[in-house]
Structure 1
Amino acid sequence: MKPRKTFSAAALLVLTVMVTACGAQENHGETAKQVTMNEQQAIDRAEEIIHQAVDVMSPKPALERTGPEAIGPCIARDDHGPDDRLQVTLFYKLTGVPPSEAKNLVLQARDAWLKQGHKYNSSDEKDMSGPFPWVSMRTEPDDFWMEGITGVLDRAKGEGLATLKVRSPCFLPPGKASAASADPAALRTPQADDSATRRVLGHSSRIYDALSVGSAPTQAGEGLSTVRTEAGASVHHTWSTEPLPQGEAVRAMARAQAHFQSAGWSVRRMPATQESVPALVAGHPEERTVAQIAAGATGAVRVAVTTPVEGPPSADV
């Protein structure tokens, strides 16, 4: 099953509000990485990686940053522990150039990152030689992940919109001693009658129905929480299925993807967290709700749903 590698321009905008699961960036079975940096250091490094690609491009595009604040909480951990780490995601559209140049800009980004010594996360020559290439790479040893994406504007004419994204590793802000001890001021149990809580639980219930497999007992760090960052407050709901054989995990993920697509969500399939079991990240087009689904080291499928507290009233369930 191949990751979906092209997006409409509208889908690219939806993806800017997504918070990406830290679990997909960590080796399975390991404890959380004890990376310490502050938010500005993470942003500065991400922007440096963006400019490594953009500054050598021809024609020279303009950078248009899209989406909300860059800081978000890390969720969907493989070890189920509470987590007060943060993660930075920067997302830029490359504008001011003809749409026929989108393919070349993504290829130039790939080549520039390779010259910097960065590594492939995934490589598909068929995709890279097509009209709408996509590439996923990472830095070593600091483990920033980046993507060059070609959004489709006019498939018949081969016109697209080039977008670059850089995501930091999960990091502990200075003064945080451990990723396994959440700050009580940041995490709290939401009220059951809160509209954001009802929204999250409603989506979790529909994902459970779509997966069509049993849920596991609640683990430490799972359940409902509200996380407050400089970007605002969000309600999170995390849970896991029972351990599944690989084939059944693949089928369950396919059912979840079909559910999101039929409901009008924008869906990305991320690099596999287990062999042949790619993770899913889906964004609701109106609510700014994000769902993440990934197979963990035990075979259990981990689900995390997050929504901003200040969501649209019409999205209540």
Structure 2
Amino acid sequence: MRLRRALFGVASLVTAIMVAACGSSQDETGADNASSKQVAMDEQQAMKRAEEIIHQAVDGMSPKPTLKRVGPVPIGACVARDDGGSDDRVQLSLTYQLTGVPAGQAKSLVRQARDAWVKRGYKFQSSDADWSDPFPTVSMRTEPDDFWMDAITGVLDRAKGTGVASIGVTSPCFAPSDATATADPASFRRTAPDEQAERRALDHSSRIYDALQVRHAPTTEGEGLGTYQDAEATYAHHTWSTEPLADDTLAQVMQRARAYFASAGWTVRHAPMATGVPALMARHAADGAVAQLAPSTDGTLRVAVSTPAVRPGAASV
């Protein structure tokens, strides 16, 4: 049975992860250190720092790109829940597409972002990008505040070697403000575009489920289908988990996931996790969907898919 048939009726609006890319914090030895860090910031401070990191990469670029927000919403539940922290923490994620430059300049923009961050003393999450690849990805983190960021080249035309560049930044987990903690995600009127976004999220989830070839676990609190709204857009979000997997099975599942994303036109990167198995972060260029597959310490694989609602007359992401 496809996952959509099993979970399509789950329509409760839940607080859930809305990030383009994130993972649990690690030091240079690969050991998890998020549980020992006490991040003192609020949403405004996190947003300001994320914007600063993006502009550090972009402001000196040539040719000069224009920043285009591509979502998802900036505030969401903390992904790194396996580090011993409180489950009510949140984190902020911000992603921009670099527009207004020739498509052939995408690789150059990613390299320039890398160079700007290196000059600031920021560290690679694992290693530098493979610059022999026409569509490289750079994944780095700041020190000591531990924001995670990436510069990604998405494929527009592989035959011509043209692409589109984007930059994303994700904050560490922090305690929510009263306004964030009490926000009501169901306080807006659902429209046809909202329902279409939900169907796209469920469709992506279903295809991912088919590709993984493992059973899903029963839906728990905090999982299911939700619709969320920020000041700029509305997003559908669908989360679910697999049954606990043995290490060898998890490795096979992640390999199947990578193969599926590559065949379906998703841009994929990896982010280290406390489990030792990197999470997969994927972005679908056609509809702006973002997917995350994050291994948990209990052996399950958490899957989250976010899709933006496209309003009549609005430009699609």
TM-score normalised to structure 1 length: 0.68
- Specify every segment of 5 or more residues in structure 2 that has no aligned partner in the other structure, as ranges: 1-17, 27-31, 313-317
Code of the residue aligned with 1:240 in structure 2: it is S
Does the 8 Å CA contact 1:36/1:171 hold for their aligned counterparts?
yes
Matched pairs, number: 282
**TM superposition shift of 1:138:** 0.8
The 3 A distance-change label for structure 1 pair 216 and 82 is same
The CA distance in 2 between the partners of 1:249 and 1:213, in whole Å, is 10
Aligned to 1:169: 172
Worse-matched range after superposition: 154-163 or 41-50: 154-163
The CA distance in 1 between the partners of 2:132 and 2:73, in whole Å, is 34
Q: Does residue 65 in structure 1 map to residue 67 in structure 2?
A: yes
Q: Does residue 85 in structure 1 map to residue 90 in structure 2?
A: yes
Code of the residue aligned with 1:63 in structure 2: it is P
Which string of whole-angstrom CA distances, capped at 9 and with x for unpartnered residues, describes residues 63-85 of structure 1? 31123467434358354987573
Identify the match of residue 122 of structure 2 among 111, 118, 124: 118
The 3 A distance-change label for structure 1 pair 117 and 249 is same
Code of the residue aligned with 1:237 in structure 2: it is H
The 3 A distance-change label for structure 1 pair 303 and 55 is closer
Which string of whole-angstrom CA distances, capped at 9 and with x for unpartnered residues, describes residues 118-161 of structure 1? 11112147x14665543211112222222234456787887766
Which string of whole-angstrom CA distances, capped at 9 and with x for unpartnered residues, describes residues 251-303 of structure 1? 112323344444x34231322434354413242623x4332212122221101
Superposed, 1:1-317 pairs within 5 Å as 19-20=19-20, 22-24=22-24, 27=32, 30=35, 36-39=41-44, 41-56=45-60, 60-68=62-70, 71-74=73-76, 77=79, 79=81, 85-93=90-98, 99=104, 103=107, 105-124=109-128, 127-128=130-131, 132-150=135-153, 163-172=166-175, 174-175=177-178, 182-183=181-182, 185-186=184-185, 194-262=195-263, 264-273=264-273, 274-283=275-284, 285-286=286-287, 288-309=288-309
The 3 A distance-change label for structure 1 pair 52 and 285 is closer
The 3-state SS of whatever aligns with 1:244 is coil
Code of the residue aligned with 2:79 in structure 1: it is R
Code of the residue aligned with 1:45 in structure 2: it is R
Does the 8 Å CA contact 1:47/1:90 hold for their aligned counterparts?
no
The CA distance in 1 between the partners of 2:289 and 2:295, in whole Å, is 20
Aligned to 1:10: none
Q: RMSD of the TM alignment (CA)?
A: 4.2
The 3 A distance-change label for structure 1 pair 170 and 176 is farther
The CA distance in 2 between the partners of 1:94 and 1:129, in whole Å, is 23
The CA distance in 2 between the partners of 1:230 and 1:35, in whole Å, is 25
TM-score normalised to structure 2 length: 0.68
Code of the residue aligned with 1:138 in structure 2: it is R
Does the 8 Å CA contact 1:76/1:303 hold for their aligned counterparts?
no
Worse-matched range after superposition: 132-141 or 19-28: 19-28
The CA distance in 1 between the partners of 2:197 and 2:42, in whole Å, is 30
